[in-house]
Chains A and B, each alone.
Chain A
Amino acid sequence: MKDYLLTVKDNRKVADGVYEMNLYAPDMPELKGGQFIHIALKDNSRILRRPICICDYCQGVLTICYALVGEGTRQMSELKGGDTVKAMYPLGNGWSAEGYKKVALLGGGLGCAVLPLVARLNPECEFNAYMGFADVSKVVLEERMKSLCPTTVTTDNGTYGRKGFVTDALAADLAAVKPDAIFCCGPEVMFKSIARNPAFANIPIYVSLEARMGCGLGACLVCTCGIRTADGDKNLRVCADGPVFKLDEVIL
């Protein structure tokens, strides 16, 4: 991991309140799905970097997909092709599908942005992706995901794809998909729903968490989450011990 000055290839709106940015990143250390990039803003009055998952990496181009949440991400959305961005990567523990043959990728909303890279970097594994969105206006990354593995899209209100919650769609298809592991990213309510659903009880589930973050390196201890460990409950660092944890170890 180190700091890079990256050049923006393009940066465009892809759904309601969601942007996709492609960055030329010719120098890439060994990368794992679920790792993230820590982006410095040009505005020096906003002194924290923005931690954003690496959505995809292909032919020297790094892709991020991000929601406009506040002023920082709004400023990111104004970057144009040719602009430069200071960023550190790759950060976090990441996840590899090693040891698993059939993995279900489960994304809720912009949690789907973590999934393409996991499929990209583990070609020996058979993936099925389930991506759920609130509404047709929020649907992103469908083409990218479909180019990597069979993909099912759901919307909560049925305005696109299958109607209903994405967790229910995967639960309904479980006998056909037969995953020996699930990799999941989405809002905490989704993690709770999976943890409670007996359909998933015997499948190892890995989740990628997010937290308000400081250094991104594991030194400042601000992004902690509660994890059950052999030594009891601990506040572990999402940036360095995570962001990927086993769901049954996360204190929700």
Chain B
Amino acid sequence: MNTGVEIAGVKFKNPIITASGTFGFGKEYNELYPISALGGICTKGLTLKEREGNASPRIAETPSGILNSVGLQNPGIEYYLAEYDKWLSDCGTTVIANIAGSKLEDYVAIAARINDSSADMVELNISCPNVRSGGIAFGVQPESVRRVTEAVKKVCNKPVITKLTPNVSCIADNAKAAEDGGADAISLINTITGMAVDYKRRRPILANNTGGLSGPCVKPIALRMVWECYNAVKVPIIGLGGITSYTDVLEFMICGARAVQVGTANISDPYAAHTIARDLEEYCRSNDIDVNTLVGTLELN
């Protein structure tokens, strides 16, 4: 049996990675369990300068899901390098730094700065639906996906994952654009733009009016999109969207994901990522499976 996976030369002890924005920089969860048990962690989205994010409320519960509109609140790359980088590199798991910007030059500048970190990989957030400029603006048009990926690849000396938005007409085209731009891997899906309404006040619940939908309700969409991308590109895929159990992980891997990210489940159950990693290992042991042999083995009806 084997649960170890490799993406663009970077090793993960298991395919369970925590998704950006749901896990902070790992410190809170490390109080509950050793995060070294995880395959990897993906940091909160980092920007060049500190960001205060959007007004509250920033979250609304919807059936089997949540809408969020945090707006990339983060302490900025310099604070990250000073306060979290060393701690994360010592915590015994693979680290992916998620980076975001408002314009192309921001992405290039932060990608260059992240070279000084001990992060193992970089995830390019061009799919945040909750910021006015940048974010998703780079993620919708395939040509823009290619351009920003290419610009980051030119300056970044770490493997680059381009994170794709599902708010597009054909995600396979965007996956190919990321690959053409030199992405070492792609991750999908980011959240789906949605709205929750308070009928009594006749207002959206979120201060930002719209937000990103995540949780178990998006899993079928994510599985379909992972499968479409698997059939469109050669680069490894990290699948995410509504994963709450090890069987969800198996489904994503069968659809073509080399690894997965667990996001919203961490919020419902703070032990979720740890439990999923443990259960997956137990499944692989009792069935003598190498998880790598599952990738892309879906047979259509």
Contact = CB atoms under 8 A, between A and B. Distances in A.
Contact of A234 (B52, B56, B266): B52
A88 B70 CA distance: 23
Given A40-B269, A49-B268, A235-B73, A217 B28 contact: yes
Nearest to A215: B267
A213 B283 CA distance: 34
A47 B65 contact: yes
Interface in B253-279: 264, 266-271
Contacts of B28: 215, 217-219, 240
A3 B65 contact: no
Interface in B64-88: 64-66, 68, 70, 73
A217 B29 contact: yes
A218 B264 CA distance: 14
Interface residues of A, number: 31
A218 B24 contact: yes
A48 B70 contact: no
Interface stretch (A20-28, A175-183, A221-229): A221-229
Interface centre among A44, A224, A240 (most CB of B within 10 A): A224
B23 interface: yes
Contacts of A5: none
B264 A225 contact: no
Interface in B50-71: 52-53, 56-61, 63-66, 68, 70
Given A47-B216, A224-B73, A235-B73, A215 B61 contact: no
Nearest to A50: B61
B60 A220 contact: no
A213 B59 contact: yes
A215 B22 contact: yes
A187 interface: no
Given A217-B28, A234-B52, A48 B268 contact: yes
A221 B68 CA distance: 10
Contacts of B66: 47-48, 214
Contacts of A214: 59, 66, 68, 267
Contact of B267 (A46, A48, A224): A48
Main secondary structure of the interface of B (DSSP, over half): loop
Contacts of B270: 3, 88, 215-217
B110 to A, nearest CB: 19
Interface centre among A1, A211, A220, A235 (most CB of B within 10 A): A220
A177 B101 CA distance: 54
Interface residues of B, number: 34
Contacts of B266: 215, 219-220
Contacts of A213: 59
Nearest to B22: A220
B24 A220 contact: yes
Contacts of B52: 233-235
A6 B284 CA distance: 32
Contact of B31 (A1, A222, A235): A1
A59 interface: no
Contacts of B23: 219
B21 interface: yes
Interface string B175-202: 0000000000000000000000000000
B61 A46 contact: yes
A221 B58 contact: yes
A27 to B, nearest CB: 15
Nearest to A214: B267
A48 to B, nearest CB: 5
Interface in A222-246: 222-225, 233-235, 240
Given A219-B22, A240-B28, 9 more contacts: A46-B61, A48-B267, A212-B56, A213-B59, A214-B59, A216-B270, A218-B24, A220-B70, A222-B59
15 contacts: A40-B269, A47-B215, A47-B264, A48-B61, A48-B267, A48-B268, A212-B58, A214-B59, A218-B28, A220-B68, A221-B58, A222-B70, A224-B53, A224-B73, A225-B56
